Structures are given as structure tokens and as C-alpha cells.
Amino acid sequence: MSFNLPNNTTVEQCGTRTVSILSTGHERSNFTVMLGCMADGTKLPLVIIFKLVNISREEFPDGVIIRANKEGWMNEKEMFWWIENVWIQRARRGNNQRSLLVLDSFTAHKTDAVKRRFREKNTDLAVIPGGLTSRLQPLDVSLNKSFKAKVILFLFISLLSNK
């Protein structure tokens, strides 16, 4: 996701020489959001990865986990963390010994080490082939666009209120 606010329309009186546009100051900064849910609709904790050296001390809503790395992307290290701290914690609540996890074909999701760790945790993987997201991952089509708009609005309001 990007901090860039896509709105390019302003409202101002006719004849105004200068139009101020509110900005986060981070238009080129990106962050990663990892959404997950169970087949029964139970949501997994939301994980946001910022491009930072250290995690910010900002207050975020309950159920939101903040991570930071120098790229701001999901990578193999972050996948290992997610497996241990989100996926395995979810598994402890159920009675199933084996699980199936459906992931998109992002590189960090399908490294040999990540696949091996999932096998060790009794999880079978189904990787959606590239180009088929709109047909095989309904959350990407039905949820992500409105989710991204709301997250960006929340972050923008938070940044403005902290100034």
C-alpha cells in the first residue's frame, strides 16, 4: 500500500491564487498489509509492515500488529515471524492437526525455507498462480480496495492529529 492519497480534486473559491493541499509528506512511502481469514470468516490479526528501522510508538487499534524492516515488504524473515506468531497461534485454538493455507504467488510466500516451515507446522499450502487472483482470491477483489481506502484515511487523520 502507499501513503499517497489518490484524490486530485480540491474545493476552493473561484479566483483564489493559492490552493493548499493537505499532505502526509510521505507520498512515495509504502507499507505492506497482510490480511488473513479462516474459512469460517474468523479474521486473523492484521499485520502492517512499515519501512522503518524501529517500530513506531504510535497507538494502533487492537488486533493490529506493527512490524518494521528496512524494505517495508513481506520477506522470508517476516514470513517466519508470521507463521510463528499469527498462523500457529490460530492453530492452537482449533482441534485440527493439519491445516490448509491459500496464499498468492508472492515470492516470500513460496521460498523453499517457508514451505518447509509450513510443513513442519502441519500446514499444506495452496499457491494461487499469478494472474488468477481475481478468479481464485475473492478477498482481493471484494475487500482489499475498500480496506486500502479506509486504512489510508485512518493513517492520514492520525498523522494530522499528531502535528
Task: Please report the pLDDT score of residue 28 as a whole number.
Answer: 56
Q: How is residue 21 written as a grid cell? A: 493541499
Per-residue pLDDT tens digits for 16-42:
777 766 665 655 567 788 888 788 888
pLDDT band at 50 (very low <50, low <70, confident <90, very high): confident
What cell was used for 19? Answer: 490552493
> Which of 125 and 68 is assigned the larger pLDDT?
125
Which grid coordinates belong to 146?
475498500
No. of helices (H) and no. of strands (E), the chain: 6, 5
pLDDT number for residue 152: 65
Q: What is the pLDDT of residue 143?
A: 64
Per-residue pLDDT, averaged over 108-112, amounts to 90
Distance in angstroms (rounded) separating the CA atoms of residues 6 and 27: 10
Average pLDDT, the chain: 76
Spell out the long-range contacts of 52-59 with Cβ–Cβ below 8 A and sequence spacing 24 or more.
Answer: 58/158, 58/162
